[in-house]
């Protein structure tokens, strides 16, 4: 696998979880004695990632303090927002710390247990500027759905609809280091880049039938605590 760097967007406030989190970043939500973010870092290290950039914002000092000792077998760099930049602005800022030609981008509140090497191979063979890991779900009520053509190129995004089966962005992408150079300082990676650029640049989708969870709502946060008991991350 040629791409050995990853960015985790961990600056979210977690509005719906704040009654449970008690004023800590969403990515630091406790899962069986460890923060959710530590599982993501361990997952990346297990798959050969040797440089991880943490995109931080809200209560950044909590995450910096936890990962300061860095027991992981990877270099950890913190990219801290001085003001809210949105997911796109945070990604653009973090990309300045990437040394290679591209990086994985992960949401700090989702866990998608995919084969990173397969996504990397798809990215390289497709010639796309962005490769997305997609998950088929029975209900797209919380997510925008993604449509692919026969060549696995993204051809449309459909606003979230209840009780409709479809493919969703599983929160892991690969992009080139300079993919966001022309974007403004603050923007949404999903709404202002992916959804507005798919017909102008090549974005490929790779579907995985792997474990997926988004801890953005209390019900799934509690479910993660039970599910993660079987993980060795």
Nearest-angstrom CA–CA distance, 173 and 179: 12
Query: Which pLDDT value is given to residue 16?
Result: 67
In the chain the domains, ranked by start, together with CATH numbers, are 5-230 (3.90.550.10)
Residue 18 has pLDDT above 70, yes or no: no
Mean pLDDT of the chain, nearest integer: 92
Residue 189 has pLDDT above 90, yes or no: yes
122-141 average pLDDT score: 93
Own/partner contacts of 192-197, CB < 8 Å, gap of 24 or more, are: 192/86, 192/88, 193/88, 194/130, 194/132, 194/154, 194/157, 194/169, 195/144, 195/157
Between 163 and 97, the higher pLDDT residue? 97
Per-residue pLDDT reduced to its tens digit, 168-180: 999 999 999 999 9
């Amino acid at each position: 696998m040629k791409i050995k760097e990853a960015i985790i967007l961990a600056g979210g406030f977690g509005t719906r979880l704040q009654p449970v989190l008690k004023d800590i970043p969403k990515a630091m939500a406790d899962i069986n004695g460890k923060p959710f973010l530590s599982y993501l870092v361990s997952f990346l290290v297990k798959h050969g990632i040797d440089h991880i950039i943490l995109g931080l914002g809200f209560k950044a000092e909590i995450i910096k303090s936890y990962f300061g000792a860095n027991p992981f077998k990877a270099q950890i760099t913190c990219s801290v927002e001085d003001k809210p930049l949105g997911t796109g602005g945070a990604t653009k800022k973090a990309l300045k710390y990437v040394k290679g030609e591209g990086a994985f981008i992960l949401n700090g509140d989702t866990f998608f247990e995919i084969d990173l090497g397969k996504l990397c191979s798809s990215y390289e063979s497709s010639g796309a500027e962005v490769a997305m890991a997609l998950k088929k779900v029975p209900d797209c009520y919380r997510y925008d759905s993604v449509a692919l053509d026969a060549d696995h190129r993204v051809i449309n995004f459909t606003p979230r609809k209840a009780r409709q089966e479809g493919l969703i962005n599983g929160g892991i992408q690969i992009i080139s280091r300079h993919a966001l150079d022309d974007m403004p300082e603050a923007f949404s990676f999903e709404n202002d880049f992916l959804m507005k650029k798919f017909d102008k640049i090549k974005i490929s989708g790779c579907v995985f039938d792997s474990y997926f969870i988004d801890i953005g709502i209390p019900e799934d946060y509690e479910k993660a605590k039970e599910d993660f008991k079987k993980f060795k991350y």
